[in-house]
């Protein structure tokens, strides 16, 4: 056997061993329950006033860190000493610690105690409460269950039980205010951010020209920004909006993490939590990721293809302005306290039910505007790239970033009408009362899932493919060689573009959809990893054949390669339907998509920002601050999202406002370590959030007094590096466009069979002047 096949055999056996040795997955069949909110509803559906619970031994006002012996008991109901079991209880306290004093009581966590098997046959229990060491408004919630002793009866003996609830309050030595209302906190933070943004913009305006800081100059300046159709200015508008909403989405994430830092937390109620994760998702995808992509696309695509501007400039401005107005509609819910609580996926029939909050209608309306914006963007970019390339630049001579924008826009504007129609259907259902998703009238909730995910899956590729383009550009420039395998990169992206439309069923494996479609999409999803893998290998080979210069953008690109690959691999557990049934709606999913969305898309943006900021602003960013940003950000990011894989495997569910841990495995909650990991994640989240301000500070500092940038600071060779920094308006003289003469880095040699086929359809080269209509 030769060396090559020996090596292959060794690798394959190593993989096989790893698969055998890797830990098994355990999922908890009973899920997680929260008695504090929902009551003893395994024992019965509602409370019963025949049972009277009581707590004795509580002081009116506690002293700091003092232990009180309290007795929990109840009277009434069917319990009687002749029954085999008499009753049970669950006591939750908001602050301080509860601990058992005998074997009849067990502790789930410091805030919650319940009865044990041994303590199942009594009507009163004694335990100890240790008061907190600070001033808190303490609340006790007690549930007691009166058992009728039919141990062999229906429901395992719990039918016929009666239970009731009691709340009690204890004041602190020094009176304190009510706890903060999360919506007030969020609205305040958003308003503060907006004010900070306005001040920053005003400051930048002042510093660019201190003499003209008067109203006479301000009005035309702001009017110019409100009415501009120049692709560079529109790109800047997209940036500012995108970064602002990235921050707002981050604030929401912080509040979610505060809530999840400890088990059984009550910072956000269940209802508020639902609104927060809905808005976090919608904001991050539609108001942060998409505008940031459009910002780069607007800025760089015309420069890279040598066009003076986009094909339809006023439509481009329209695309932008639909976004902030749409955002206003979406956020009306935040400021009213009754925002959409459907999840960013807005599943039917909840989304058209009367129990969903009223803000859902505005959430839908805002997204309709965003759909219009994306459609116009798609038309504009496809037209521009198809028709306005400089002479000499054929399809296979375009830079890879432009290719990525082309493929992304193709996917976007072909898939988004499905979402738009679904949204219109939901809007009409909620407003004029059509019955698209009304189950009692025959409406099919799966229709929404299909329409949403027909768009939703291409959408997530829309946000990652431009990042791929950026990475290609940055790696090539940083490695000081052309990208390896240009043509295969193009075909890989095109392949991703087409296959992305036939995989969307993998989001719906648990929905009860058509079994045939389930099977088909399982196979196609496994297939779509192949082109992505090709791209990763090409990037690695580019670095291998070149010599890397380590700038900040290079660091972020290397970070991307690590985190996106990890995210992609964790994603490969989901195509298998059997695995998906266990992992669906767990934190494993959350870990996966944050690895590809943040570790992929956002890291790609950071690389793009550090790479193209000199071109866009004419000034060089501070490298030291950039490296600091990378180090703090990359480490805290991994600390933040990596443990979520483990939490998901343990069974922590996503979109649940809290979770519970227990020492007793049989109760079905998470192990005790999960609480520690959640706290670790929350702390890392704060560090990651604040690390991004390093970049913002860098940008502001640079704009004010950064070093001036040359046209080509990194040694790139696509057209954008041939212009001034920042480029003039129009970006290229329409009567004197650059001609691509020497692009051997991008040239794909002789046209292949596909190219020859396209050639047959081309307008004949000689007749470019005489084409009449």
Active-site residue list = 280, 309, 344, 373-374, 457, 459, 461, 472, 506-507, 532, 535, 654
**Minimal distance in Å, beta carbon 355 to another protein?**
12
Judged by CB under 8 A, does residue 26 bind another protein? no
Angle, helices 182-208 vs 270-282, to 10°: value is: 30
Token look-up 């990359």 returns: 634
- Interface of this chain with another protein, residues 588 to 647, rule: CB under 8 A: none
Q: Is 580 exposed, middle or buried (0-12, 13-18, 19+ CB in 10 A)?
A: buried
**How would DSSP label each residue in 143-174?**
EEEE----TTSHHHHTTT-EEEEEEEEEB-SS
**Looking at the DSSP assignment, which residues form a beta bridge with residue 105?**
115
- Compute the distance between CA of residue 409 and CA of residue 403 in angstroms, rounded to an integer: 10
Q: Please state the closest distance from residue 252 (CB atom) to another protein, in A.
A: 22
Considering only residues 269 to 328 of the shown chain, the ones binding another protein according to CB under 8 A are 308-309, 311-315, 317-318, 320-322, 324-326, 328
H/E element, 518:
helix 515-545
Q: Cite the beta strand spans of 441-525 per DSSP E.
A: none
Residue 30 C-beta-side C-alpha neighbours within 13 Å: 11
Binding of another protein by 149 (CB under 8 A)? no
Closest CA to 137 of 184, 91, 178, 180: 178
Cβ 412 to another protein shortest distance, Å: 10
Is 123 a binding residue for another protein by CB under 8 A? The answer is: no
Comparing CB distances to another protein, the nearer of 40 and 490 is 490
Longest dimension (CA), the chain: 104
Give the Cα separation of 706 and 556 in Å (integer). Answer: 21
Considering only 127, 279, 362, 703, the residue that binds another protein (CB under 8 A) is 362
How far, in Å, are 275, 317, 595, 673 from residue 609 at the CA level?
A: 31, 22, 20, 38
Judged by CB under 8 A, the chain residues 319 through 338 that form the site for another protein are: 320-322, 324-326, 328-329, 332
Least separation, in Å, of the C-beta of 296 and another protein? 20
Structure tokens belonging to residue 649: 């495997």
For residues 229 and 265, which CB has a smaller minimum distance to another protein in the complex? 229
Q: Which is nearer to another protein, 76 or 751 (CB)?
A: 751
Those residues with Cβ within 8 angstroms of residue 445's Cβ, 6 or more apart along the chain or in another chain:
347, 348, 349, 437, 439
Q: For another protein, give the closer residue by CB, 152 or 765.
A: 765
771 binds another protein (CB under 8 A): yes
Q: DSSP of 589-650, one letter per residue?
A: HHHHHHHHIIIIIIHHHHHHHHHHHHHHHSEEPPHHHHHHHHHHHHHHHHHHHHHHHHHHHH
Measured from the CB atom, is 4 or 760 closer to another protein? 760
539 interacts with another protein by CB under 8 A: no
Which segment (449-457, 568-576, 622-630, 657-665) binds another protein by CB under 8 A? 449-457
Cα dihedral across residues 500, 501, 502, 508: positive or negative: positive
Compute the Cα dihedral for 325, 329, 333, 339 and give only its sign.
negative
Residue 53 in 3-state DSSP?
strand
For another protein, which stretch binds (CB under 8 A), given 23-31, 238-246, 274-282, 377-385?
377-385
The one among 37, 135, 266, 444 contacting another protein by CB under 8 A = 444
What's the burial of 264, exposed, middle or buried (CB within 10 Å: 0-12/13-18/19+)? buried
Q: Cβ closer to another protein: 415 or 552?
A: 415
Of residues 446, 667, 683, 722, which one binds another protein by CB under 8 A?
446
What tokens appear for 322 in the block?
């639909």
Q: Is 738 in the site for another protein (CB under 8 A)?
A: no
Sign of CA dihedral 567, 573, 576, 581: negative
Piece of the chain touching another protein by CB under 8 A; list 71-79, 177-185, 341-349, 496-504: 496-504
Q: Which is nearer to another protein, 393 or 476 (CB)?
A: 393
Tell me the residue length of the chain: 773
Q: Is the peptide bond before 659 cis (omega within 30 degrees of 0)?
A: no
Contact pick of 118, 201, 386, 549 for another protein (by CB under 8 A)? 386
Which one of the spans 17-25, 339-347, 399-407, 447-455 is the region binding another protein (CB under 8 A)? 447-455
Query: If binding is defined by CB under 8 A, does position 443 make contact with another protein?
Result: yes
Q: Is 457 in the site for another protein (CB under 8 A)?
A: no
Shorter beta-carbon distance to another protein: residue 457 or 584:
457
Distance of CA 446 to the CA centre of its chain: 23
If we measure between CA atoms, which residue out of 501, 527, 498, 504 comes closest to residue 517? 504
Cβ 310 to another protein shortest distance, Å:
9
Contact string (CB under 8 A) for another protein, positions 405-434, x = contact: --------xxxxxx-xxx-xx-xx-xxxxx
Q: Which of 60, 152, 178, 354 binds another protein (CB under 8 A)?
A: 354
Q: Does 576 bind another protein (CB under 8 A)?
A: no
- Min dist CB 497 to another protein, Å, is 11
CB of 434 to another protein, least distance (A): 4
* Count of residues interacting with another protein (CB under 8 A): 109
- Residue 502 binding another protein, by CB under 8 A: yes
3-class DSSP assignment, residue 506: helix
Nearer to another protein, 334 or 369 (CB): 369
Comparing CB distances to another protein, the nearer of 48 and 514 is 514
Is 578 near another protein (CB under 8 A)? no
State the nearest-atom distance from the C-beta of 383 to another protein, in Å: 4
Q: How far is the CB of 402 from another protein (least distance, A)?
A: 11
Number of neighbouring beta carbons within 10 Å of residue 84: 12
Query: What residues between 76 and 105 interact with another protein by CB under 8 A?
Result: none
Interacting stretch for another protein, rule CB under 8 A, among 77-85, 113-121, 337-345, 354-362? Answer: 354-362
| Residue 383 in the binding site for another protein (CB under 8 A) | yes
Edge-to-edge strands of the sheet including 124-130? 52-56, 67-75, 124-130, 97-100
**Cα(352)–Cα(331) distance, rounded to whole angstroms?**
19
Choices 158-166, 259-267, 272-280, 362-370 (CB under 8 A): range interacting with another protein: 362-370
Q: Is the distance from CB of 680 to CB of 596 less than 8 angstroms?
A: no
Assess 391 for contact with another protein (CB under 8 A): yes
If one asks whether residue 224 binds another protein (CB under 8 A), the answer comes out as yes
Of the listed pieces 86-94, 506-514, 669-677, 684-692, which binds another protein according to CB under 8 A? 506-514
Using CB under 8 A as the binding rule, the residues of this chain from 163 to 222 that contact another protein are: 219-220
Q: In 10 A of CB 300, how many CB atoms?
A: 29
Cβ 464 to another protein, closest distance in Å? 20
> Candidates 392-400, 650-658, 665-673, 700-708 — which segment interacts with another protein by CB under 8 A?
392-400
Site string for another protein, 225-244 (x = CB under 8 A): -xxxxx--------------
- The C-alpha atoms of residue 461 and residue 412 are separated, in whole angstroms, by 9
């Amino acid at each position: 056997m030769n060396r090559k096949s020996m090596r292959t055999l060794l690798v394959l056996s190593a993989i096989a061993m790893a698969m055998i040795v890797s830990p098994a997955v355990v999922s908890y069949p009973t899920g997680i329950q929260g008695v504090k909110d929902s009551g003893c509803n395994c024992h019965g559906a509602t409370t019963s006033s025949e049972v009277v619970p009581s707590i004795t031994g509580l002081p009116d006002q506690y002293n700091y860190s003092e232990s009180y012996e309290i007795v929990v008991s109840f009277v009434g109901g069917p319990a009687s000493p002749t029954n085999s079991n008499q009753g049970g209880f669950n006591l939750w306290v908001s602050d301080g610690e509860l601990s058992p004093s005998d074997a009849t009581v067990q502790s789930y966590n410091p805030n919650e105690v319940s009865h044990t098997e041994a303590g199942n046959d009594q009507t009163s229990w004694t335990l100890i409460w240790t008061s907190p060491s600070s001033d808190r408004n303490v609340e006790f919630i007690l549930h007691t269950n009166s058992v009728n002793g039919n141990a062999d009866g229906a429901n395992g003996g719990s039918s016929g039980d009666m239970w009731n609830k009691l709340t009690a309050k204890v004041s602190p030595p020094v009176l304190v205010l009510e706890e903060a209302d999360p919506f007030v906190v969020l609205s305040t933070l958003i308003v503060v951010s907006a004010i900070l943004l306005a001040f920053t913009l005003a400051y930048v305006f002042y510093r660019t020209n201190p003499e003209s800081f008067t109203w006479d100059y301000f009005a035309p300046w702001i009017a110019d920004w409100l009415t501009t159709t120049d692709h560079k200015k529109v790109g800047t508008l997209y940036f500012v909006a995108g970064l602002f909403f990235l921050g707002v989405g981050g604030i929401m994430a912080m509040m979610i993490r505060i809530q999840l830092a400890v088990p059984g937390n009550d910072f956000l109620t269940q209802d508020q939590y639902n609104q927060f994760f809905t808005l976090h998702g919608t904001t991050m995808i539609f108001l942060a990721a998409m505008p940031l992509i459009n910002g780069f696309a607007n800025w760089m695509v015309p420069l890279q293809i040598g066009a003076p501007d986009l094909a339809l400039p006023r439509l481009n401005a329209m695309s932008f302005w639909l976004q902030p107005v749409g955002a206003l509609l979406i956020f009306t819910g935040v400021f009213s306290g009754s925002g959409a609580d459907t999840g960013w996926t807005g599943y039917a029939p909840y989304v058209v039910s009367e129990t969903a909050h009223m803000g859902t209608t505005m959430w839908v309306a805002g997204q309709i505007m965003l759909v219009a914006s994306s459609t116009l963007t798609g038309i504009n970019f496809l037209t521009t790239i198809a028709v306005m390339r400089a002479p000499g630049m054929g399809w296979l001579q375009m830079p890879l970033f432009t290719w990525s924008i082309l493929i992304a826009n193709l996917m976007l504007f072909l898939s988004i009408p499905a979402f738009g129609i679904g949204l219109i259907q939901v809007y009409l259902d909620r407003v004029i009362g059509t019955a698209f998703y009304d189950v009692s009238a025959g409406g099919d909730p799966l229709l929404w899932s299909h329409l949403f995910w027909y768009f939703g899956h291409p959408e997530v590729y829309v946000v990652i493919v431009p990042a791929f383009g950026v990475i290609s550009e940055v790696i090539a420039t940083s490695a000081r060689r052309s990208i390896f395998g240009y043509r295969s990169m193009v075909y890989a992206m095109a392949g991703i573009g087409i296959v992305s439309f036939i995989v969307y069923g993998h989001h719906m494996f648990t929905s009860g959809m058509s079994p045939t479609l389930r099977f088909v999409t399982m196979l196609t999803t496994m297939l779509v990893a192949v082109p992505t893998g090709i791209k990763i290998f090409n990037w690695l080979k580019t670095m291998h054949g070149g010599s890397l210069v380590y700038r900040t953008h290079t660091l972020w690109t290397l970070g991307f390669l690590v985190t996106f690959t990890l995210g992609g691999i964790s994603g490969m557990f989901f195509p298998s339907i059997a695995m998906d049934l266990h992992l669906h709606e767990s934190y494993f999913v959350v870990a996966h998509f944050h690895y590809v969305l943040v570790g992929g898309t956002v890291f790609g943006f950071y690389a793009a920002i550090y790479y193209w900021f000199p071109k866009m602003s004419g000034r060089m960013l501070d490298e030291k601050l950039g490296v600091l940003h990378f180090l703090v950000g990359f480490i805290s990011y991994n600390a933040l999202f990596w443990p979520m894989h483990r939490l998901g495997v343990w069974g922590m569910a996503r979109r649940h406002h809290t979770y519970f841990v227990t020492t007793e495995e049989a109760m079905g909650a998470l192990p005790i370590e999960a609480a520690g990991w959640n706290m670790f994640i929350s702390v890392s989240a704060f560090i990651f959030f604040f690390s991004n301000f390093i970049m913002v500070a860098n940008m502001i500092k640079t704009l004010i007094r950064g070093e001036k940038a040359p046209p080509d600071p990194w040694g790139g060779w696509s057209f954008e590096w041939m212009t001034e920094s920042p480029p003039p308006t129009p970006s290229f003289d329409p009567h004197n466009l650059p001609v691509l003469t020497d692009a051997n880095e991008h040239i794909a040699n002789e046209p292949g069979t596909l190219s020859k086929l396209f050639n047959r359809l081309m307008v004949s080269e000689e007749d470019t002047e005489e084409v009449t209509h």
